[in-house]
Chain A
Amino acid sequence: MDDTDLAITFFTLLTLVANAASLGLVGLAVAPARPPWTTLRADVIRSGLPVAWLVAAVSMGGSLWFSEVAGFEPCRLCWIQRACMYPLVAVLGVAVLRRRRPGAAGGWAERLALAMAAVGAVVAGYHLLVERFPQLESSTCDPTNPCSLVWFERLGFVTLPYMALSGFVAIIALLLSSRPARMEALA
């Protein structure tokens, strides 16, 4: 069994889980205010931040594995996404700790995390477009490491930038679903 193949399959499955979770959170946001939806919302508000931190940490681990173990060189757009995702582990960690303090609710860490995830999602979305339409960047491949290079593709649509986009979108959905304003509304 090939380690790279195993890792790609593992992260593909997690990507699908992240997609399903993001869709589920959108569905929960528009669900009627009665049980069991209110119970689920309370769970999301309580757990959203730690789960967002977990998504960022797993995404960073996957990114490092693909570059350092599998040998997939990060391109220019990959580096921008990394610059958004890696610090999210620290920023969301701070947000989780702040939320645990009595009386603390939200703050700069969550707003910063939301902004970073939004920038990362936009860049990942553009990277995905460049993969599908390489001529968006140029009609020529950079001889070293073009952003249009598709390192792998699973199920016909899961590629590295798709994975990154799924991670960023899941983090955004979790952050928006666990906002302090929503927490107080449920109190």
Chain B
Amino acid sequence: MSTRTARTPRAPRTSRPSRRPNLMLRLALVAIVLAALAAVVISAAGSGSPGGGDSSAGASKDVPAFDTATATATGTALPAFPDKGADPAVGQKAPRVQGTDLSGATRVVPTTGRPTILLFLAHWCPHCQREVPVVQDWVQSGGLPEDVDLVGVATAMSDVRPNWPASSWLAREGWTAPTVADAGNQAAVAYGLSGFPYWVVLDADGKVVERRTGELSTEQIDAMVQAARDGAPKE
């Protein structure tokens, strides 16, 4: 006995795509191949002209010694800068950092007997890239008094990250503050860095007056200068 049942009628095939050559898909594949060929030609032509007007990570191959130089930190490390609440490092003696500056000379910070503002910078950080010209303009307009030091610390350096190397970036910005290289991040760790840009205000005794992160206005920097002069609160 046959168990065959009547077939359900097929759905109309009007919605099925036809089998004719798939023009758009072919065009897409051709576009990929042409883009690959064009990229090879453009990159080959551009390799003879450094820079080229575009920016990308690790663009420069000739790296100055500054950008691979490490710093050493001696003394008790500061606790990490907290997101909120009182800063436990205020009043604590800051570590001394020895490193190479932009001229290639060895520099020790802070200088004994002078209030100091340390500014930790990362070449790849957009906020540092915006803050450096603000601070440089402030310095050039006479904002930094003679009795206070402003010292940069170029840290978190990485040749795969954009705006490398840091020394070229600072030179482009006309940066004049003495700056120590911290390629190994020892200084950043010793100062409890938690974000960029990172500010540490020290009084003439080398004690922490305050720490801050982020872009600051020139008015806020003026206030830090005054705080450095006034010194850490007495216990």
Check if A and B associate: yes
B42: nearest chain-A partner, CB-CB: A9
A77 contacts the other chain (Cβ, under 8 Å)?
Answer: no
Contact B13–A103 (Cβ < 8 Å): yes
Given A48-B24, A149-B124, A1-B17 contact (CB < 8 Å): no
B122 contacts the other chain (Cβ, under 8 Å)?
Answer: yes
Given A140-B127, A140-B195, A141-B128, A4-B213 contact (CB < 8 Å): no
Residues of A within 8 A of B35 (CB): 10, 13-14, 17
Given A13-B39, A151-B56, A151-B162, A51-B126 contact (CB < 8 Å): no
Contact B24–A149 (Cβ < 8 Å): no
Interface residues of A: mostly helix, strand, loop or mixed?
helix
Residues of B within 8 A of A151 (CB): 56-57, 161-162
Partner of B18, one of A4, A5, A46, A154: A46
Q: Which of B25-33, B104-112, B202-210 contacts A (4 or more CB under 8 A)?
A: B25-33
Residues of B within 8 A of A1 (CB): 40, 43-44, 47
Contact B43–A102 (Cβ < 8 Å): no
A183 contacts the other chain (Cβ, under 8 Å)?
Answer: yes
Contact A152–B15 (Cβ < 8 Å): no
Contact A152–B162 (Cβ < 8 Å): yes
Residues of A within 8 A of B13 (CB): 102-103
A58 contacts the other chain (Cβ, under 8 Å)?
Answer: yes
B103 contacts the other chain (Cβ, under 8 Å)?
Answer: no
Partner of A150, one of B15, B126, B127, B156: B126
Contact A4–B56 (Cβ < 8 Å): yes
Among B16, B122, B194, chain A packs the most CB atoms within 10 A around the CB of B16
A30 contacts the other chain (Cβ, under 8 Å)?
Answer: no
Contact A6–B193 (Cβ < 8 Å): no
Partner of B25, one of A54, A135, A155: A54
Total contacting residues, chain B, CB less than 8 A: 52
Separation in Å of the A128 CB from the closest CB of chain B?
13
Residues of B within 8 A of A187 (CB): 14-15
Contact B162–A43 (Cβ < 8 Å): no
Residues of A within 8 A of B82 (CB): none
Contact B22–A47 (Cβ < 8 Å): yes
B121: nearest chain-A partner, CB-CB: A141
User: What CA separation (Å) do A187 and B17 show in the bound complex?
Assistant: 10
A50 contacts the other chain (Cβ, under 8 Å)?
Answer: yes
Contact A50–B31 (Cβ < 8 Å): no
Total contacting residues, chain A, CB less than 8 A: 55
Contact A5–B46 (Cβ < 8 Å): yes
User: What CA separation (Å) do A180 and B17 show in the bound complex?
Assistant: 10
Given A5-B56, A103-B13, A150-B162 contact (CB < 8 Å): yes
Residues of chain B in range 37-80 having any CB-CB distance to chain A below 8 Å: 38-40, 42-44, 46-47, 54-58
Given A140-B196, A151-B56, A187-B15, A2-B47 contact (CB < 8 Å): yes
A87 contacts the other chain (Cβ, under 8 Å)?
Answer: no
Using CB atoms and an 8 Å cutoff, list the residues of chain A in contact with chain B. Answer: 1-2, 4-10, 12-14, 17, 43-48, 50-51, 54-55, 58, 70-72, 99-100, 102-105, 131, 134-135, 138-143, 146, 148-155, 180, 183-184, 187
Other A-B contacts than A47-B23, A143-B188, 4 sampled, CB-CB below 8 A, are A43-B24, A100-B17, A103-B10, A150-B55
Using CB atoms and an 8 Å cutoff, list the residues of chain B in contact with chain A. Answer: 10-18, 22-25, 28-29, 31-32, 35-36, 38-40, 42-44, 46-47, 54-58, 122, 124-128, 130, 156, 160-162, 188, 193-197, 213-215
A-B contact pairs, 20 of them (CB 8 A): A5-B46, A9-B39, A9-B46, A13-B35, A46-B17, A47-B22, A47-B23, A48-B24, A50-B25, A54-B32, A58-B32, A72-B57, A103-B13, A138-B195, A141-B126, A149-B126, A149-B161, A149-B162, A151-B162, A183-B17
